[in-house]
Structure 1
């Protein structure tokens, strides 16, 4: 599961950095790296990205005031995939 999460986190960081969301991209890169150091803490930290105002859920990629449809669709798919992966990982931790 960790490798799948790392792959998704890496893909999200690429999409974000390619579309001038550098602070979010760096946050994902950092936690992607930390998955190898403290897996449990990292997955909970990633899950917290999804809540509250100004969260990862609120990001809309745009250029010159126009939303980037293809890029936002890709990000949305990755966002859902990561959430599903994190939920499964947390459930697995609870059962162990």
Structure 2
């Protein structure tokens, strides 16, 4: 599997978890990257990396549903966030 395919798969897994939560606004932010990645991979990777900066960033996102944190989903989501960051940083 190529690096681009791994990034796309990671994004899709993250979207699946986001859809289980009340963080629907992040769905609209992350989903377009899975399509743009094939047309402009380096630019898309840089845009993804920019999500990790500042207050209210992807780093700060904790998945909740009806006011309760999703423990198992947050553990997987944290792993996927780190994986996505590492994949996007590689070869830039």
State the partner residue of 1:68: 70
Question: How far is the alpha carbon of 1:65 from its aligned partner?
Answer: 2.6
Which runs of structure 1 show a deviation greater than 2 angstroms over 4 or more consecutive aligned residues? 63-66
- CA drift of 1:32 comes to 0.9
Q: Deviations over 1:47-94 (max 9, x none)?
A: 00101000001111123332111011010010011111111132xxxx
CA distance 1:40–1:26, shift in 2 (3 Å): same
Question: Match for residue 21 of structure 1?
Answer: 23
Structure of greater relative contact order (alpha carbons < 8 Å, 6+ residues apart): 2
Larger radius of gyration: 1
Quickly say closer, same or farther: Cα 1:20–1:66, change in 2 above 3 A: closer
What are structure 2's unaligned runs of at least 5 residues? none
Q: What TM-score does the superposition give when structure 2 sets the normalisation length?
A: 0.90
The aligned length equals 90
RMSD: 1.1
Structure 1 unaligned regions, length at least 5:
91-96
**TM-score, normalised with respect to structure 1:** 0.86
